[in-house]
Amino acid sequence: MNSTVEVPRGLAGVVVTETQLGDVRGREGFYHYRQYSAVELAASRSFEDVWRLMFRGALPEDVTERAAFAAEVAPLRHLPAEVREALPALADATALSGPLAGLRTALSLLGASAGFRPVYDVDPERRAADALAACAAVPTLLTALHRLGQGLEPVDPRDDLPYAANYLYMLSGQVPEPAKARAVEQYLISTIDHGFNASTFTARVIASTGADVAACLTGAIGALSGPLHGGAPSRALDTLDAIGTADRIDPWIRERVLAGDRIMGFGHPVYRTEDPRSRMLRGIAREFGGPLVDFAVEVERQVEEILAELKPGRELHTNVEFYAGVVMELCGLPREMFTPTFCAARVVGWSANVLEQAADSKIIRPAARYSGPTPPEPVPAFG
Ligand SMILES: CC(C)(COP(=O)(O)OP(=O)(O)OC[C@H]1O[C@@H](n2cnc3c(N)ncnc32)[C@H](O)[C@@H]1OP(=O)(O)O)[C@@H](O)C(=O)NCCC(=O)NCCS
């Protein structure tokens, strides 16, 4: 007899596995990586430190441990020749859809050319080595695809620069100002993981089949690319542009909300209080200052007031997308690279989840309730 259990649509709130990687507490406005507050990690640690925490279970305890992990991952930024040579054609073919679409193919190629093996067939050390290689290559692939799409030559990675500074360097060809590199690093750290979101779940479903790390990550990138997940950080900034000036905020927002539209960068499926990433990124944006930041702060103030009036009791505040867009714009990232930049961080979280899932031999295989015509009907004769 088949036994089935009914769960809420979209699996909302359904616990499907255990994890030691982290969690989100929506009512408290708090999320964590392992036992540490993610926001505190972003404030005080490097990207590589947190990467090590996610992969190896502990932060580096001293400068030697920190330097050892950084020195282990930096050389993995360089792409194998067969992948590098394929990128111009890939950038051409994905000119309309952008670097994230190209990344899916490039990562598959990287995995195949580097000999990634199904996680089912290899030991934990080999799985972790494949995941490390994939994560380290993602920023190089994304920035090369972006530059090729702009008619520019890719910029080779530099092993002497930290993760975020090297990312900005490969994007523009210039070593970034320390304040900008640090702001992007903090954003990247805050984006590494965020509970059992759709792309993380996707990565784990694929890992549960025993497929290789590149297959898991490629599927996760596909999930992230959707507008309901990671595909929208530039839209909040587009909203600021569309409003234009402070005197237009009130009428612009009211008209949209009364028409039933959603204001981009506000509301969250889990947080019922301020998104802690939004609070952190607002602080970073304020340190830079300038007209864009002043305008964003004023838009936030008025939109929260209007939403509280027109949608009473819904607790609608800014989400990560609102100030992430502002910070990335201030740091010179092109809007086309907003979601890819999100991906350059989240790939570390996906990989840690893949490694955790690979240690569990149970395949994730839920059920669906069949709602079509009652079977079995006779198959119609043909001819
Ligand atoms: C993120 C989001 C999908 C969360 O949705 P959710 O928690 O399922 O929210 P609900 O769909 O339950 O909405 C609750 C109410 O608030 C309203 N609401 C939610 N977000 C809103 C927004 N950004 N602007 C205006 N109204 C909003 C809904 O219309 C709904 O109103 P109703 O009860 O009168 O129908 C939603 O807030 C949204 O679309 N935000 C804008 C897009 C965005 O910023 N995405 C990035 C997410 S990180």
Across the range 35-58, mean pLDDT stands at 98
For ligand 1, the distance from its centroid to the CA atom of residue 271, given in whole angstroms, is: 11
Q: What are phi and psi of 32, to 5 degrees?
A: -140, 155
For ligand 1, the distance from its centroid to the CA atom of residue 311, given in whole angstroms, is: 10
pLDDT band at 229 (very low <50, low <70, confident <90, very high): confident
For ligand 1, the distance from its centroid to the CA atom of residue 272, given in whole angstroms, is: 11
Q: Is 173 in the pocket of ligand 1 (CB under 6 A)?
A: no
> 374: number of CA atoms within 13 Å, CB side?
0
Show Cβ contacts of residue 209 under 8 Å, excluding neighbours closer than 6 positions.
120, 363
Closest approach atom of ligand 1 to CA 269: 7
Write down the pLDDT at residue 268: 87
In 3-state terms, what secondary structure has residue 37? strand
User: pTM for the whole thing?
Assistant: 0.94
Across the range 295-308, mean pLDDT stands at 97
pLDDT band at 270 (very low <50, low <70, confident <90, very high): confident
pLDDT mean across residues, the chain? 95
Q: What is the pLDDT of residues 241-256, one digit of tens each?
A: 999 999 999 999 999 9
Write down the pLDDT at residue 1: 47
Among 311, 318, 339, 342, say which to mutate for ligand 1: greatest number of ligand atoms within 8 Å of CB.
311
In 3-state terms, what secondary structure has residue 284? helix
Q: For residues 273 and 208, what is the distance between their CA atoms, to the nearest angstrom?
A: 34
pLDDT for residue 224 is more than 90: yes
Q: What is the pLDDT of residues 88-126, one digit of tens each?
A: 999 999 999 999 999 999 999 999 999 999 999 999 999
